[in-house]
Amino acid sequence: MINLVFILIGIFLRINNISNDYYFTGESAKELLYAKHLIESNIFPTIGMATSHEWLYYGPIYYWILIPLVRIFNYNPFILFWLSIAVSIAGLVVNYKLITKVANKSIAVYSTILISLSPIFIWQTRLSKLHVFFFLLTPILIYLLKLVWDKKRKAVFWLGLCFGIFFSFHFSQIPLIFVLLTVFLIKKYKLKDYLILSLGILIPNLGIVFKDLKIFLWLPYRSLGLSSESSSQTLENFNKFFGMQFFWDEKYWIVGSIISIFIIIVFYKKYIKTVNNNFFNFYLIFSSIIIFAGLILHKNPPVHYFLPIIPNIFYMVSMLFEKYLPKRYVYLLFILFSILSYKTYIMPKDIDYISYDNQLEISQKIVDENKGKLMQIKRIGPYDYFPENYSQNYKFLIWYLGGKIDDSMNNTTDNIVVINDYENIKKYNEDTNIK
């Protein structure tokens, strides 16, 4: 019962005050506009949206899920969050079920509680991006790889299929292919098994392959983490990832980083000699090294690039808790973590943040002032160098509220509505400070 209480606290933190904190941006609205386009054009997608590399596309599975939900809920912008919270909760259930089989029940319970209470997991859920599916897929991948480690050849195809499905939600898992292949080498799988693994990976991504074969040139580049970017923010982003495991407030991220690094070092020293005969120890150590090394080479990795190994630290600490700490002290720490996560909750906000209510108010005013008129939207503000001036959130809301948007490539409409988000953000911050 006490375990469920901790998990419910984590779920509460994921939904608390979401109507005010809903982070609806141009990036998230692109998903809805893309789904809208597919629905109106009666297209069954074989690929997803383009990534930041204009020629590189996600797989289609996210949109297979999103499109019927958008139709059922009549394009409500909150559908992105409802889907995200459902996947996040499912991820907690799957983590408990499968880590029980990979390790044991205690480690499954401990890690599920820590994941439910962790600021970085709560934050990523509340962002409502497609990356949240990593929370569900990662324990499945670990479980299937454990079966392959145990020489269950029937799991090889399903492992490949699971790994292939990741491509519908991001590409940051690519370096983990080295972990998969190392298991195949250690366990002396045959060429036939490598081909079956490859087939499983390929099936969910046939649309991507047929769309552009350049992906086969890009994958080795991404796997090796090669990049010409500056490394100035790499340390800062690692600090954010490690720090937000435990703390909301940026001031304490360095403390969280120290705790995270301490856990990794202790785990490594305790279990490095067991990696040849213990799958979970092998996976946690090797996958962490591979991803961290790849991100250092990549330089300036956004936090969601850490998603393939986001639960690793909590798996490690759960194993250490089980072995070295009496259960009563573990639950005392969980109580303290619950209080800390609840009392210090601060939704991280980027420089472009305007509350969803304010966006609705701005959009409604534009609709009222341009009744029946076809309009173009031009946004001035943070990130306006992105396509469409990063205005997709306003475009979607204006359409949702009954406005008429000119979506043509020629932009022939004379009625251009300029949205100055610098002023909107300034006003929002002033009003928030007054309150």
pLDDT, residue 282, reads 97
pLDDT, residue 351, reads 86
**CA distance to 18, 51, 361, 401, per residue, from 364 (Å):** 20, 30, 5, 7
pLDDT bracket for residue 37 (50, 70, 90):
very high
> What digits encode the pLDDT tens for the residues 337-383?
999 988 888 877 888 888 899 999 999 999 998 887 888 889 999 99
**Whether residue 322 is found in the same domain as residue 226:** yes
Judge whether 349 lies within some domain: no
pLDDT, residue 388, reads 87
pLDDT, residue 113, reads 96
pTM of the model: 0.92
> What digits encode the pLDDT tens for the residues 383-430?
988 888 899 999 999 999 999 887 764 555 578 889 998 888 888 776
**Whether residue 69 is found in the same domain as residue 97:** yes
pLDDT bracket for residue 66 (50, 70, 90):
very high
Closest C-alpha to 83, from 95, 66, 67: 66
Most confident of 23-32, 228-237, 259-268, 383-392: 259-268
HEC profile of the chain: CHHHHHHHHHHHHHHCCHHHHCCCCHHHHHHHHHHHHHHHCCCCCCCCCECCCCCCECCCHHHHHHHHHHHHCCCCCCHHHHHHHHHHHHHHHHHHHHHHHHCCHHHHHHHHHHHHHCHHHHHHHHHCCHHHHHHHHHHHHHHHHHHHHCCCCCHHHHHHHHHHHHHHCCCCCHHHHHHHHHHHHHCCCCHHHHHHHHHHHHHHHHHHHHHCCCHHHHHHHHHHCCCCCCCCCHHHHHHHHHHCCCCCCHHHHHHHHHHHHHHHHHHHHHHHHHCCCCHHHHHHHHHHHHHHHHHHHHCCCCHHHHHHHCCHHHHHHHHHHHHHCCHHHHHHHHHHHHHHHHHCCCCCCCCCCCCHHHHHHHHHHHHHHCCCCEEEEEEECCCCCCHHHHCHHHHHHHHHCCCEECCCCCCCCCCEEEEEHHHHHHHHHHHHHHC
Judge whether 223 lies within some domain: yes
Residue where one domain finishes, among candidates 343, 378, 412? 343
**Whether residue 405 is found in the same domain as residue 325:** no
**What b-and-e string marks burial along 339-350, b requiring 16 or more CB atoms within 10 Å of the CB?**
ebbeeebebbee
How many structural domains comprise the chain? 2
> What digits encode the pLDDT tens for the residues 78-102?
999 999 999 999 999 999 999 999 9
Judge whether 425 lies within some domain: yes
**Whether residue 83 is found in the same domain as residue 159:** yes
pLDDT reading at 219 higher than 70: no
> What digits encode the pLDDT tens for the residues 280-333?
999 999 999 999 998 888 778 888 899 999 999 999 999 999 999 999 999 999
pLDDT, residue 409, reads 47
Judge whether 363 lies within some domain: yes
| Nearby residues of 121 by Cβ (< 8 Å), 6 or more positions away | 10, 88, 115, 135, 310
**Whether residue 326 is found in the same domain as residue 371:** no
pLDDT reading at 189 higher than 60: yes
**Whether residue 253 is found in the same domain as residue 150:** yes
pLDDT bracket for residue 224 (50, 70, 90):
low
pLDDT bracket for residue 434 (50, 70, 90):
very low
pLDDT, residue 151, reads 94
pLDDT reading at 123 higher than 60: yes
**Whether residue 276 is found in the same domain as residue 392:** no
**Whether residue 385 is found in the same domain as residue 334:** no
**Whether residue 309 is found in the same domain as residue 363:** no
- For residues 370 and 264, the model is more confident at 264
**Whether residue 287 is found in the same domain as residue 386:** no
**Whether residue 110 is found in the same domain as residue 222:** yes
Query: Taking residues 218-225, what's their average pLDDT?
Result: 53
- Domain housing 120: 2-343
